[in-house]
Amino acid sequence: MNRTQFSTIVLAAGKGKRMKNPDLPKVMYKVNGKPMIDHVVELAIALGSQEIIAVVGFKKEIVIDHITATFGNRVKFATQFEQLGTGHAVMQAKPLLEDYDKDVLVLSGDVPLLTKRTMAELIRHHRDTNAVMTVLTAYVDDPTGYGRMIRMPDGAVDRIVEEKDANIEERSIREINSGIYVFKARPLFEALKHIDRNNAQNEYYLTDVLHYYTHHGMRVSAVRAQHFDEIRGVNTIEQLDEAEKAVRINSHLFRE
């Protein structure tokens, strides 16, 4: 991946309200023997990311101290003081990417099982299709809790609808958004100026940049992960257990 240039934003500000320990940042819970954030930062490094920026918030000192002790000065930090959504989180990284004109990979600190193989394919597809945004998706039997991918008749990406904002027909869609993306940096930060919090959760959704892109005739593409286990998000103790189980059962998927 060294022939390509991109930077990475890792979203790591979450509280983990549904986890057992209310004082531990969610990304510090362990999967396969180490904090989830370690898996994500290691992936960004393995892919050859130029810069890695972790957006921290809740109990940020714990996350910063751990990452610094583990990775030295390889990771920079931006702070999300209020939990106002994924779009707002990415906005906090803008000062560290001022005038950056390459690509930006956005990873979630609570999605620890992504493989280098899948992410390399996502980046490659993004470049090959000359898209401003490329989304990693997956098909699942039970899409509960995930944003749904809404496609145009020709298969192009139209929009992503968060579950709380979806109607009955949209909720029946089984292709889901993983929350993992590649963007062209300048169109990303321009689009973020135009999103608002007019939604069920009163948050700035990162996915709302799609409206700006499609309105301006910009291409949005998508790549489907072959295995749902890769894009498992961890928001509860039960999901943490499921991630551990996935590593045990499908260990061959995660060997790099």
Tokens of 119: 């992410």
Active site residue 174: no
Q: For the chain, where are the alpha helices, taking DSSP H only?
A: 36-47, 60-71, 86-91, 116-128, 168-171, 185-192, 209-215, 237-249
CA distance 151 to 156: 6
Please name the helix (run of DSSP H) or strand (run of DSSP E) that holds residue 157, with its range, or none.
strand 157-161
Given the residues 18, 117, 171, 174, the one annotated as active site: 18
Q: Which residues contact 47 (CB under 8 A, 6 or more apart)?
A: 1, 6, 8, 105, 116, 119, 120, 123
Is residue 52 within 8 A of residue 26, CB to CB? The reply is no
Which residues participate in catalysis according to the annotation? 18
